[in-house]
Chain A
């Protein structure tokens, strides 16, 4: 198993550009989520999904869109990039949506918006 994979590893965008961060897992996990980590901060939840076709907002959803058309993939779209979205983005998955199951994190995407 590759686990949770994220592409790209690094990305530089100009303000106003859009892009999609890719996340995939090959563990048939039900639950997937996106977090961002800013310097000196913990991870903050952006969006999550409890199964294919179902998504919901986390703590900091503004400026981001998600969809979950398959169990494996959970892309994060930046609609119009802003410097405040400069961050490290982590995708995570878990076997089930309810707690008690650990979340497996991908290696992260480092995004810089100029």
Chain B
């Protein structure tokens, strides 16, 4: 059973508008969440993270929101730029963190000019 779900395989957004990528999780032990961005033929690169003691974290154009009661997080990108076109993975960890990250299947974001 998938513990981290990204239900939109792809999302198309116009340049300059807001991109909102969603992620749901089922494991209530998850307490640290991350977003990674991946271009074709490259490894994922870290974008932004949030601890379960917070409900929002911002870094420049990127904001992650966490709703613990709904087991839902979202990544907002404002304004969207052509270089944001990539696959975005939501990931989560629990406990000490040594046993790695649990990833969603990813959402392919396409920024239209």
Contact = CB atoms under 8 A, between A and B. Distances in A.
B46 A107 contact: no
Contacts of A103: 46, 101
A97 interface: yes
Given A40-B105, A99-B32, A102-B34, A45 B43 contact: no
B99 to A, nearest CB: 7
Given A102-B49, A103-B46, A107-B43, A41 B93 contact: no
B38 to A, nearest CB: 8
B33 to A, nearest CB: 10
A66 B5 CA distance: 29
Contacts of A102: 34, 46, 49
Contacts of A71: none
B99 A108 contact: no
B98 A90 contact: no
A106 interface: yes
Contact of B41 (A33, A56, A105, A107): A107
By size class, the interface of chain A is 20 to 34
A108 B98 contact: no
Contact of B98 (A42, A48, A92): A48
A20 B9 CA distance: 33
A102 B36 CA distance: 10
A106 B54 CA distance: 30
A58 interface: yes
B104 A105 contact: no
Given A42-B103, A45-B101, A99 B42 contact: no
Interface of A: 4, 31, 33, 35, 40-45, 48, 50, 56, 58-59, 90, 92, 97-100, 102-108
6 contacts: A42-B89, A42-B104, A43-B44, A105-B36, A106-B43, A107-B43
